[in-house]
A and B are shown apart, each in its own frame.
Chain A
Amino acid sequence: MKPVVKDVNILGLANTIKDWLHARTGARFGLLTSIDGKQLVTLVLDPKASAAECWISEVSDNTYKTLTTLIPQSHWFERSIYDLFGIVPDQHPRLKHILLHDEYEPTFHPLNWQEMGKVGDKTDNRKKTPILSETLSQEKFVSTGAKREYKFLQVRGEGIYELPVGPIHAGVIEPGHFRFNCFGETILNLEIRLGYTHRGVEKRLTEIHWRKASFVAEAASTDTACANALAHAIAIESLFDLEIPAVAQALRTVALEIERLAMHIIDVGGLCGDIGFSAGAAAAGCLRGKALRMGQMLTGSRFMRGFILPGGVRKFAHQHIASMQKNMQDLRKELDELFELLAENQAARERAEKIGVISKSLAEEFGVVGVTARACGISYDCRQHFPHGLYPKIAPPIALQKGGDILARTRVRIAEIRRSTDVIESVLQSITGSEHIIKLSNDLPANQTGLAVVEAFRGELIHLLFTDGKGAIKRYAIKDPSFNNWTAISIAIRNNLIADFPLCNKSLALSYSGNDL
């Protein structure tokens, strides 16, 4: 997909965005970032028209007036721009570091071009991958002068206590820190501190040749490898004018749905585990294994790594289709059995109903996406609107619920598992032909913008890239669905019991590494 690129004045940017969103039903604020620290980049999406606009607003003196007061969902975006580029959003209500911890120099801003020059000389000793960007500017790097420290929000009063959890959690899960302020067993406030798994993925994507980049994009969060590889492929392909072979489109769709299936199953399984329904959790573990096995039949790898590449898919073996279909039938039967048991489980209902509620209005205000949004009645699924794989042509109907609680999220997940199996079965049936990849020229077109919006299993995933005058990628931005949704857990858990937190957390199924990049 190619966005319309425009220059927009930074003065009154928040109002310009608001007006644009107001004028179109269902329009969304996609992401906010910068290219090299000299400008803001705003991406706005109009799903109904399958359109996107990318606005470039020049920033002077490394600062601008915050958008967060008018557009609350930009709060984390502004914090990450502050960390990565050193641009200060003036009057931001809670400006704190989000990706870079105290271990980094306070003046270190890895994606700011002036700074990038320094880093490149110092630590980039990868042999065959020179930094592919235009001549770096010689201007002196401007520091924000702030000390890199982190202060948690304080809640005071008699009987109120603070409970720190993490970054290392009790289970086998990625790291992140939760700071609860509680009164008795009730949670008054939850602040989330992330950034522990920050690995510099976006910068690496500008250092490495684009042909190798899809493996890095996948590793942004390898549980979402397919969706990330697909988004990377589409963003690259959008720079060219090409027709991707039909077989490749079909196989990409199947891979994306297998990933959704496997991950939704494990999330339902985790829920079973948390309510003490061990037989369900064990069964879900096995069923996920069967979904992964299908992924392996298709791609050779359980996580389908390296399958989707710019231009098509890496391989295609007709003979595996029949065994995949057989596998799918068995899996569908076993899933039905499990869901039936779960539906009859009284404990599941009691633990999940009216717990961890997110209201539709707050979800809209904070731009919540994916299962969580659909569970509060927001009818947004990228498969309906933006081209990826065979979508939007064969997009399944949206699974909607109204409750906004754990139960609603589980129901959406189960409905989506069923619909994914439908999609996989029908697409597998219709595959004819064998051409599965076309060759792309080694050089990307210069000064272009590429975009992909994909419905990953967690929700809307955006990849946005800019090429420089020589066709090298000068900026690669990834917006993981969890970047929108982490705020949702703070909303959901407010005034709930601390004992309900693990279940609530699981029902939101958030990614740490996709957020931290």
Chain B
Amino acid sequence: MLKILSYIFRNGIATVANPCPPLEEDADGMPALTENSCSGTGCNECATACPTDAIEVSNEDGVGRVSLDLGACIGCQLCIDICPTGTIVRNRSTRLAKKQRDDLILTNHESVLANSLKRSYEADVKNKIRNIFGRSLHVRVVSTGCSACDLEIGACGNPVFDLERFGVHIVASPRFADVLLVTGPVGKGMRDSLLRCYAAMPEPKIVVAAGSCSITGGVHKNGYAEANGVDKILPVSVYIPGCPPHPWSIIHGILLGMGKVQS
């Protein structure tokens, strides 16, 4: 016992004080777009390389336009490595979660950018929910994919990230959960169980989708298992991109759902 105590004291506090800092220099992170236009008419190299078909290159008035869907992106870096014009660059931010699906679609097309900024964010109902959930939150995690996303959610609870300090608790039963945190692409085999879990939760409740699988199906999208993400069957309030998302990104997404941070 004494040994354990001395061990605990020796190791001190591991928790990082300011949540959701950018990733370290050696991390690759996810892609971001600059306003650089593509060389000439758009070389299409990135779209050809992307393993999840997340990128579309079009040509408007002779200028290459790129749009990149972070909801499908797995952060493989191929497009960043290949892009000759610096249009696609690295983004080490961990604050990636968005409340609107469309806001995950990046573009170097200014007019589209302006549009997405203009859109009003919140309906009144959502604000109400935010006030109710503002202080403490119980989260039921349901995995429908591979365990990497789940391991990162597990990591949120370790002393470094310490999710509980924000009043967020991972709970075992949907009966007293406020948030359904879904990972994985929700293939046919999990659809029924997920719906039942959602139905067992009391109102008000929100759904958070963590990981590119849960947003679009990621690498699995449009297959015979119809694993195309959770918003095909349930209303989603927060989308957290990444494959898997970094623990800070998951925490940011949950805090965004609580209204404690802005996106």
Contact = CB atoms under 8 A, between A and B. Distances in A.
Q: Most chain-A Cβ atoms within 10 A of its Cβ — which of B141, B154, B158?
A: B158
A214 to B, nearest CB: 8
A511 B74 CA distance: 21
Of residues B74, B77, B152, B223, which shows the largest number of chain A Cβ atoms within 10 Å of its Cβ?
A: B223
B256 to A, nearest CB: 20
B8 A297 contact: no
Given A303-B244, A305-B243, A223 B147 contact: yes
Contacts of A513: 145-147, 184
B82 interface: no
A215 B51 contact: yes
Contacts of A207: 223
Contact of B192 (A100, A103, A282, A314): A103
B79 to A, nearest CB: 12
A266 interface: yes
A514 B145 CA distance: 10
B226 A123 contact: yes
A173 B143 contact: yes
Interface in A303-325: 303, 305-306, 314, 320
Interface residues on A, range: 35 or more
A123 B224 contact: yes
A207 B223 CA distance: 10
A172 B141 contact: yes
Contacts of A201: 220
B77 A511 contact: no
B26 A128 contact: no
A201 B145 CA distance: 11
Among B48, B50, B173, B189, residue most surrounded by chain A Cβ atoms (within 10 Å): B189
Interface string A267-295: 00000000000010011011011000100
Contacts, number: 192
Chain B interface bracket (under 10, 10 to 19, 20 to 34, 35 or more):
35 or more
B158 A286 contact: yes
Interface stretch (A10-18, A192-200, A470-478): A192-200
Nearest to A126: B222
Interface of A: 100-101, 103-104, 108, 110, 119, 123-129, 167-168, 170-175, 195-201, 203-204, 207-208, 212-213, 215-216, 219-223, 225, 266, 279, 282-283, 285-286, 288-289, 293, 296-297, 299-303, 305-306, 314, 320, 337, 341, 344, 511-514, 516
Given A223-B146, A279-B7, A199 B220 contact: yes
17 contacts: A103-B188, A108-B224, A128-B53, A129-B53, A167-B190, A174-B145, A197-B143, A200-B187, A200-B220, A200-B227, A221-B147, A222-B149, A286-B158, A289-B158, A300-B77, A302-B246, A305-B75
Nearest to B51: A212
Nearest to A320: B26
Interface string B201-221: 000000000000100001111
Contact of B151 (A104, A119, A127, A266): A266
Contacts of B157: 285
A309 to B, nearest CB: 10
A167 B188 CA distance: 13
A223 B52 CA distance: 19
A123 B243 contact: no
A297 B28 CA distance: 10
Interface of B: 3-4, 7-8, 11, 14, 24, 26-28, 47-53, 74-78, 141-155, 157-160, 170, 172-173, 184-185, 187-193, 197, 213, 218-227, 243-244, 246
Given A200-B224, A220-B146, 4 more contacts: A174-B145, A196-B144, A306-B78, A513-B146
B144 A123 contact: no
> Per DSSP, are chain A's interface residues mostly helix, strand or loop, or mixed?
loop
Given A172-B143, A175-B143, A195 B189 contact: yes
A337 B28 CA distance: 32
A198 B227 CA distance: 9
A198 B77 contact: no
Contacts of B227: 199-200
Given A200-B225, A289-B160, A174 B147 contact: yes
A208 B158 contact: no
Determine which residue in A129, A175, A219, A302 has the highest number of CB atoms from chain B within 10 A of its CB, and name it: A219
Contacts of B24: 293, 296
8 nearest CB pairs, A to B: A285-B158, A300-B28, A222-B148, A212-B51, A170-B172, A513-B146, A200-B223, A103-B188
Contacts of A296: 24, 26-27
A203 B243 contact: no
A172 B218 CA distance: 21
Contacts of A128: 47-48, 53
Contacts of B78: 306
Instruction: Identify the interface centre among A119, A302, A516: most chain B CB within 10 Å of its CB.
Output: A302
